[in-house]
Structure 1
Amino acid sequence: MREDVVAAARLWLGTPYRHQASCRGAGADCLGLIRGVWRDLCGPEPEAPPAYTPDWGETGRQEVLWSAATRHLIPLAASPLDASPLGSGLLATGLLATGLPEPGLPEPGLPEPGDVLLFRLRTGGIAKHLGIAAETGAAPTFIHAYSGHAVVESPLSEPWARRIVARFGYPKGAI
């Protein structure tokens, strides 16, 4: 199943960045990639996303993306790289500060291929970037889209990894 998620995400490589789009080959943003893989593997989308800004530094208390992910995806453990008390990750900020309830997550672990990764790119900002873990091991990668680029497979380097605040899986029964 995890291989199916990665294979489906790789079909989106090269799709131009288009804010709020989700059309393979024509345009997608980071959420559009996740939505497109959902459609490819699970069928129709469970809900239409509300309008959202492309601003990664957006502040506020409403974790709209995180909340939607917990409604439709399977929560997994956060990365142990988020353990710094001064960092921007799950253990650094705490879910209660975001207005979301404490989840009953398994022990922290590294991303696995096919995991949907949620990133908080600015300390004090809301989590607003998504990607799909592709490769693990000595040279981990993830697939994502961001402004000024197409859908790309990038190294999951330490600066990216430390910003992971949550991991999710696609529902097993739907794939």
Structure 2
Amino acid sequence: MTEAEQRAAVVAEARSWIGTPYHNCADIKGVGVDCGMLLIRCFVDTGLCAPFDPRPYPPDWHLHRGDERYLGFVFDRCAETQEGAPGDVIVFRYGRCYSHGGIVTNAAPLRFVHAYWPCKQVVEEDLSRSLKLSHPDRAAKLFSYWKSVPK
């Protein structure tokens, strides 16, 4: 597959999860998923990453710990980028560290799919319309699987 086809496959996979209820540590389409497991499912199920499982983790780990556990599995597979493209990963600071993320579906305006607790499900939204996530305290960062070290 070309990079464009891979990116399209990741976006299609992310969108196929829309409406799945939010559930910590879950990864079953239509039944439950959290933001971290959504990222994993999108890249593993499209064949871009080897299967791995960071569970178990408590739902509030980011409120009590400063270690970048969430970014750890992103850093291992992606490289930070300044401009997001479809299929890239966007992450947000919550609590003491980066602990929320989604899949970019559109670059301008920046749209992404994420399992979002306040919505209680997987949604696709425009970053500029999300008052909570677009706030400077969230310090969004973008990462690309296609800019990472050779697989």
Match of 2:70 in 1: 65
* 1:30-69 correspondence runs (5 A): 30-42=35-47, 45-55=50-60, 58-69=63-74
Counterpart code for 1:144: H
Pairwise mapping of residues 84-95 of structure 1 onto structure 2 (< 5 A)?
none
**Which residue of the partner structure matches residue 92 of structure 1?**
none
Is 1:74–2:47 an aligned residue pair?
A: no
Identify if the C-alpha distance between structure 1 residues 10 and 54 changes in structure 2 by more than 3 Å, giving closer, same or farther.
same
Number of the residue aligned with 2:144: 168
| Separation (CA, whole Å) in 2 of partners of 1:116 and 1:59 | 24
1:110 equivalent to 2:83? Answer yes
Match in the other structure for 2:104 = 133
TM-score by length of 2: 0.78
- Letter of the aligned partner of 2:54 in structure 1? P
CA RMSD in angstroms comes to 2.6
Q: Does 1:144 align with 2:114?
A: yes
For 2:63, give the aligned amino acid.
E
Residue 111 of structure 1 aligns with an amino acid whose one-letter code is G
- Cα deviation 1:21-49 (Å, max 9, x = unaligned): 01111110001111211232127754321
Aligned partner of residue 94 in structure 2, secondary structure = coil
2:121 corresponds to which letter in structure 1?
A
Q: 1:150 to 1:127 in 2, by over 3 A?
A: same
1:153, distance to aligned residue in structure 2 (A): 0.1
| Offset at residue 155 of structure 1 (A) | 1.1
Shift in alpha-carbon separation, 1:8–1:69, aligned structure 2, 3 A:
same
Larger radius of gyration: 1
Look up the match of 1:99. Answer: none
Q: Secondary structure at the match of 1:127?
A: strand
2:21 alignment partner, SS class: coil
Structure 1 gap ranges (5+): 78-108
Task: Decide whether the 8 Å contact of 1:12 with 1:151 is kept in 2.
Answer: yes
Give, as a single letter, the amino acid of the residue that structure 1 aligns with 2:143.
R
Q: Aligned partners of 1:11 and 1:117: how far apart in 2? A: 18
How many residues end up aligned between the 2 structures?
139
Q: 1:43 to 1:116 in 2, by over 3 A?
A: closer
The 1-side partners of 2:150 and 2:17 are apart by 23
